[in-house]
Each structure stands twice: as structure tokens, then as C-alpha cells.
Structure 1
Amino acid sequence: MILRAALTVLVARAGTAVLRTNPPGGRARWQRTNHAGRTVDLCAGPAAAAALALGTGQVRPVVGAVVLAAGACGAYDDAAGADDPRRGFRAHLGALRDGEVTSGAVKLFGVGAAALVAGALLGERAVDRALAAVVIAGGAHFVNLLDVRPGRAAGAVLALSAPGLLRGGPAGELSAATAAAAAAVLPDDLGERSMLGDTGAHALGAALGAAVVVGNGRAGLLAHAAALVAATVCGDRVSEAARSLGR
């Protein structure tokens, strides 16, 4: 467990450094302005997603795959939806109803489809598979909702991964890799040098959800699914309210 966590940290930190030194497509493509008006880069997100996919994939290949898929969907939204002011499920689903496929809608359905496949492979019965999909997709979207201030999303993932470290076995290994990836990007995130973006937030959230799925039975899955659905609905309303106020 310790060796896997150390390797995940090393890969995430090295990946961030490489991307920062030689950003594909030029430095401007990787820069964003954060809530405080400071210029930060998006290098930490893809580096964390890649390190996490590698670390979790060694434990359960299906988890590595869903982490990679969630990160890829987030990366598409980071690239294609950077100038889109719409936030929240309702805004993107509303646009889809009007015939416009937004990058947010692609991310929503892409992460959902990946979670369904992962849930089908991780669960034994239909209800367990459905709950697993909700927990994985819900985890990805929940962590993304938290990524509005420096360190908030990575810090939450680090804290929420801690109980899983006590389990041992695959659940403990997955929790260790998730916590390690969050710890690796936290200094740059808090220092406002880099931000997770949708890439890193969705990858971390999917890994966190997968660790919960592997470490819990049906009752635990049901409780986590209910909590994540409630948090997502609440977060969506907050996003819509903030958008209406122009924030």
C-alpha cells in the first residue's frame, strides 16, 4: 500500500512538472484565471488523472479504466467548455433539449456511461451494479462541485479517503492511491500555481467512488448513493443560483 501510494505521488508530481515545462499546444492553452483573478495552469489535473489511473489500475483494471474515462471527459470539458458560462446539470440538459450538445452534456453522459460499465463489472446483482454506478458517477461530479476554491476538492478527497485506508485489501489499496494523488496535487492547488480542473476533479472523484464501491456492501452503497445524489442536487441549485447572480 505504501509503495503504491509513493509511486502515485511520484508520477503525479513528475507529470505536473513535465507538462508545466513543455505544455502541449503552448502555455496559453493550459492557463486559466482563478476566482481571485490569478493566472494558474491546468497541469496538475491530467498528471493526477494519469497517476491515479495507473495506481488504481494495478489493483482493479476496471477502476483504472473508469478513472481514465472520467478524466478524459473532464479534459474535453476543460478544453471545449472553457468559455461556456453555463453551470449545473439543468443548464446543460436544457441546452440539450434545445438541440445544443454542450461539452458539459458530453461530460455528464460520458462519465455516467463509464460508471455504468464499471458498476456492471464490480457489482454482483443488478441493484448492486446500479448503486455502484451512482456512487462512482456521483463521486466524480461531487468532487468537481467542490473545485471552486484552492485546495477544497483535493483536501476533501484526502479527508474522505482516510477511512478507506483502514480497510486493507483492494479497498484500502484504492483509497491509498486516491489519497496519494490528492496529496500530490494539493501543494500546487493551495499555492494557486495550478488547478485540478474538470480533468483532475472527475478522476479523483471517480476513484474515490470506486474505493467506496469495493469496500462496501449493499447497505453502505445505498447510504453513499443517497448522500451523493442529495449533494449533487444541492450543488446544482447553488451553481444555478450563483449563475443567476453573475458570479
Structure 2
Amino acid sequence: MRSLHPVATGAFAGLLAAGSLRLLRAHPPGGAARWDRTNHAGGSVTLLEGPAYAAGAASAAALAGAGPGPVLAATASAGLGALDDLIGDSSSKGLKGHLGALARGEVTTGAVKVLGLGLTGLVTAVLVDRRVPAADRPALVDTLVGGAVVAGSANLLNLLDLRPGRALKVTLAWGALAAGTTGGRSAGAAAAGAAVGLLGPDLAGRAMLGDTGANSAGALLGSALIQSTGRRGRLLSLAVLAGLTLASEKVSFTKVIESTPVLRDLDALGRR
């Protein structure tokens, strides 16, 4: 099937994501209170942006011919994020906290999500690599690294969803870059377009991605990345993702951003 132009893909993703958010806010599953949270500034925001993002991005990726891998990445990661959003607790935080709890025999929703993202990443990489002609198909080790890249990307976007617009701006920039590649253009355009469609209410502090949307965006971007890179690119990407994840356990990304003028200005751009 011939894929859509990236601009058309992005436009469709944005319109569907924005429309989905309006529909979900009008008819919130389980009631609005189930999705309402208090943000860093003490204001009330809705997590319904997350399901809206996943719906827009996954549907556009499917229509554009991105393949089953990216669609699975966006939807399965959203489901795992929703598990943490809706029934998760804060007794353990961060990758280290969840894995530590698991080592003690405590199964947290965060630990289930970490393991689930790992499995989702692996299946995504298998589906992506199976679409490559047999003569050029990546080796098993490349697929394993690709799976880790998808899972790591999902986790990274979640770490950035701490201020209005921050995770969506990163998604928009990363997705636009991916849309310029040969392999990942459909998935990248879908990720970026859905971000544009939801940027307004996110920057205004009325809605946020939550784990549902951030995991979905990150996994979709990760799938676009492995669609457009070989072994060297996947290994480099994994090294960067692992480094940032480990750094997040010791250093606050928000403090780093706020202490760096250029990053601080970009982070605050458009925020009310």
C-alpha cells in the first residue's frame, strides 16, 4: 500500500487527536473525576489527552502505512500507561524504585508497565524487521537492541511530561526529524501531528499526556527510529537513552532545563 504524504499524515493525526480529546471530555469514561489530576502549579488538569493522543497517532500511522510495528507500539504502550495512570500508586517511583520493589517481591503497576514496555518494544522490533527484505533483514541482536530502543523511548517521554507542553514539544521536534527519513516518515509524521493537535490545551495547563500519552508518543517515536537506522544507529540511540534514563535517577531534568537559558526559553515558549 502506498503511504500518505507526511504532511497529510500529520494533519490527519492532529485533527483526530484534537477531536478525540473534545469527544472524551464530553463523555469521559468512568466520569471526569477519574481522569482529573493536580499539576505542578496546583491546577486541575485532565489525563484524557493521553488516550486522545494515542487514538490520533495510532490511527494516522495505520492509515499512512507505517506498518503493524508502530501501530502496536503506540496502542500497547498507551494501554500500559493507562494502567499506571488509573490504578497506579506512588509508593515506588522511577525505574530504580519499581525494579527495586519487584526484587523485594512487590509487584507495582509501575513494574508491570516496565516489563510490559520491554515486551512491547521487542514485538514492535520484530514486526518492523520482518518488513525488511530477507536479504537485508537485521540480525537477532539488532532486533533485541531495537526493542530496547522502543521501550527506552517510551520511558524517556514519560520523564519529560512534568511541565505544560514539554513532552509534546520534544515529540514534535523528534517526529519532524523522523518524518524526514525514508523508513520512519509515516510514524514520525503521525507522532508529530498528534502533538500539534493537542499542544494548545497542554500549554494552557488544561490537559496533560500522563503516562498513557507520553508512553504512546515515546514508543511510536522509538519505532520510527528503528525503522530508519541500522545496527550502529540503534546502538547509539540505546546508549543515549540509557544514559538519560540513568541520569534522571540522580538529576532533575526540570532543574537542568531551568538553569540553561536556551532550554528554559524553549520550554516556556507558548506556556501561559
**What TM-score does the superposition give when structure 2 sets the normalisation length?**
0.84
Partner of 1:65: 72
Partner of 2:216: 203
Partner of 1:49: 54
Cα displacement string for residues 146-181 of structure 1 (whole angstroms, at most 9, x for unaligned residues): 0111111111111122222222x4411211111101
Q: Which runs of 4+ in 1 moved over 6 A?
A: none
CA shift for structure 1 position 121: 2.5
Partner of 1:96: 102
Q: Where do 1:9-48 residues align within 5 Å?
A: 9-48=14-53
- Matching residue within 112, 116, 124 for 2:122: 116
Cα displacement string for residues 194-227 of structure 1 (whole angstroms, at most 9, x for unaligned residues): 0100000000000111111111121111111110
Cα displacement string for residues 82-116 of structure 1 (whole angstroms, at most 9, x for unaligned residues): x4242111111121122221110011001110111
* Structure 2 stretches lacking a partner, 5+ long: 1-5, 130-137, 256-272
Between the aligned residues of both structures, percent identity stands at: 42
- RMSD between aligned residues: 1.5
Report whether the alignment pairs 1:212 with 2:218.
no
How far apart in 2 are the matches of 1:134 and 1:94?
A: 20
How far apart in 2 are the matches of 1:210 and 1:6?
A: 20
Report whether the alignment pairs 1:75 with 2:102.
no
Partner of 1:87: 93
- Partner of 1:91, secondary structure, is helix
Partner of 2:159: 145
- Partner of 1:32, secondary structure, is strand
Partner of 1:183: 196
Q: Which moved more, 1:117-126 or 1:26-35?
A: 117-126
CA shift for structure 1 position 71: 0.5
Cα displacement string for residues 14-71 of structure 1 (whole angstroms, at most 9, x for unaligned residues): 1100111111111110100000000000111101011111122332122101211000
How far apart in 2 are the matches of 1:150 and 1:43?
A: 14
Contact 2:68 2:127 in 1 (8 A): no
Contact 2:69 2:125 in 1 (8 A): no
Contact 2:50 2:208 in 1 (8 A): yes
Contact 1:78 1:197 in 2 (8 A): yes
State how many pairs are aligned.
Answer: 238
- Partner of 2:249, secondary structure, is helix
CA shift for structure 1 position 237: 2.8
- Partner of 2:153, secondary structure, is helix
How far apart in 2 are the matches of 1:118 and 1:127?
A: 14
Structure number with the higher helix fraction is 1
Report whether the alignment pairs 1:126 with 2:133.
no
Report whether the alignment pairs 1:229 with 2:242.
yes
Contact 1:31 1:41 in 2 (8 A): yes
